[in-house]
Structure 1
């Protein structure tokens, strides 16, 4: 449909407010996951370390560190004990 001065008249679409998306990765929507428990070592536990090899626990410092005798050397291994496993 045209007006006398050449303009086009048409029906405009009504604007709708966009709905908000809920972002699943939002830091406000996350549940708090407790950290895994720290592995406990006792005196005379036999252990294997990825870097130092086989050893024996000769000291324990609460949940902070253990002192391990690897034969030629002694090392203090701190938590987390990712590279060390109990045998």
Structure 2
């Protein structure tokens, strides 16, 4: 089990007959993007940095840390 802050990729041996897992692509967001969150519903990006996105929903403002698995750009 990976520890907090460590990559969740498994080590690939060069002698393995299997291909390594593809690198994980982390989506980037811009201020004003409309998004959908699995728990909070529809919202708008109000601020963003490389590792976090701040979102405004009807229920309030939240900050989501990278990777943004529960967030989808509309």
Q: Structure 1 unaligned runs (5+)?
A: 1-26
Tell me which of 66, 71, 87 is aligned to 2:58.
71
Relative to the length of structure 1, the TM-score reads: 0.60
Q: Kindly indicate whether structure 1 or structure 2 has the higher relative contact order, using CA contacts under 8 Å at least 6 residues apart.
A: 2
In the alignment, is residue 60 of structure 1 matched against residue 48 of structure 2?
Answer: yes
Partners of 1:57 and 1:85 in 2: how far apart?
Answer: 11
Runs of 4 or more off by more than 6 Å in structure 1? none
Q: Flag the structure with larger Rg.
A: 1
Relative to the length of structure 2, the TM-score reads: 0.69
RMSD between aligned residues: 1.7
Cα offset, 1:59, TM superposition: 0.4
- Say whether the 8 Å CA contact 2:36–2:71 is kept in structure 1: yes
Aligned residues: 60
